[in-house]
Each structure stands twice: as structure tokens, then as C-alpha cells.
A and B are shown apart, each in its own frame.
With several copies, the nearest count.
Chain A
């Protein structure tokens, strides 16, 4: 599979470290799951590396539904990364 587009969103301290609230990017076709996307993103630069550093608890949602590293991605998905929630 060739590259495909994803709409990425970052919240709270992930947003601050990456320096953007979101972006639409083309990811390589061999990235099939959320876990693989995270590993790939963490190598895009120091901000990403800091946001996705090993040991950091990062949660995610795919198309506004909480997701796990095994969740399979599809072209055009909205993928959000964020810390554990702290509302209420």
C-alpha cells in the first residue's frame, strides 16, 4: 500500500511539545496501526520525540472514539493524541 492521508490532532502538553494543534499528513503505507503511527511520529523531530517519549502515557482516539495501539488505521481517519483526561 502506498502512502495515505491522516488528520492528526494533538491536545494539552502533546500540543505544546509538538507546537501545533493538528496537521494533515501523508503517512507511509506500511503503517497499519495506531501503535505504528505513534512510533513513526516520534521520529519526526525533537518536539514529536518529546511528546511521544518512552514511558509517557499517551492516549488516542480514532475518529473520535478511544483507541488502542492495535487499532487499524484507514485513509482519511482523524487521529487524536492526548494525555490521560483530567476533566470533571
Chain B
């Protein structure tokens, strides 16, 4: 059963890692992905990134993605934390952890989780630029292709 959190507050990667490993001796590998707000997008300086989401659906959608990862790999732990609200460049947005007895499953599940989060969890990013402009981030074909790798 995955640990899923959607929150405005920062998260603590060391505490989350420790929580996954605590009291266990069956985990051999822990894969992790940390997404971070970049300061420049397409050559344009960013002031902030604002994440909107669909509160009634978000945690359930993430839990369904994590359940799919647990169905595909023998995971011994799985954590997904996604932040919302206004974030500055350099701030972490999302944390994915996947633990397994061996590294192959842990790392594959980590890639899968972030690929599906990007295409199946109800979040929308708005970029606020240093020059005052704003724009909603458009979905990337590359993300759809990355997510599609895991289909079939």
C-alpha cells in the first residue's frame, strides 16, 4: 500500500526514505526521483510555478498509479508526494520512492511512477515569468511517449 501525499508544504526526503526502510531487512534497493522547478524555461526566466490540482481526485489518481506499479513489480514500499500551490525555482515539486528486494524493480518502478504521474494525475502547472507574463504549461508529446512505453 503506497504512501501518497498531496501538500503545499515542502517534504523531507531523508524522513521519507527512513520511513520506507524503518524496521525492514528485506529491501535491497530504493529508487528515487525528485522533480525540481527550473529557473529558466525555453530561455525565459521563471519567477514561480503554480500547481493547480483536483483535490477530490488527486490522491485517488496517484494511489491508482502506485497500485499499478505494485501490480507490475514486487515492491516493498512506495511513496509519492506531490506539492501544490506556488513554488519558486529550485524548489522540489514531486518525490517518488520505490523499494524492492533488488535494484532493477526499484528503478523501473521509479521511472514508471513519474512517467504515469506526468500523464495521469490531475495536476496543471502555470508558469509565471520574470517579465510578468504567465502561461499554462502544455502537455508534452515526449511525456505521452514516455508513459506509453509502459502500456500493453
Contact = CB atoms under 8 A, between A and B. Distances in A.
Direct contact of A and B (CB under 8 A): yes
A8 interface: no
Nearest to A15: B52
Contacts of B123: 85-88
Interface in B118-143: 118-126, 136-140, 143
B53 interface: yes
The contact size tier of chain A is: 10 to 19
A9 B54 contact: yes
Q: Which of B54, B61, B120, B143 has the most CB of A within 10 A?
A: B54
Given A11-B52, A12-B52, A85 B57 contact: no
Nearest to A21: B52
Interface stretch (A27-35, A45-53, A76-84): A76-84
B117 A87 contact: yes
Nearest to B144: A84
Contacts of A78: 56
B2 interface: no
A60 to B, nearest CB: 11
A64 B121 CA distance: 11
Contacts of B120: 66, 85
Contacts of A83: 124, 136, 138-139
B54 A88 contact: no
A6 interface: no
B57 A87 contact: no
A37 interface: no
A85 B139 contact: yes
Contact of A11 (B60, B93, B122, B143): B122
Contacts of B126: 12
A86 B122 contact: no
Contacts of A12: 52, 124, 126, 136
Q: Which of B35, B82, B119, B140 has the most CB of A within 10 A?
A: B119
18 contacts: A9-B54, A11-B122, A12-B126, A15-B52, A61-B57, A64-B60, A64-B61, A83-B124, A85-B118, A85-B120, A86-B118, A86-B123, A87-B94, A87-B118, A87-B121, A87-B125, A88-B93, A88-B94
Given A83-B136, A88-B93, 16 more contacts: A9-B54, A11-B54, A12-B52, A61-B54, A64-B54, A66-B120, A80-B122, A84-B138, A85-B122, A85-B124, A86-B136, A86-B137, A87-B53, A87-B93, A88-B35, A88-B121
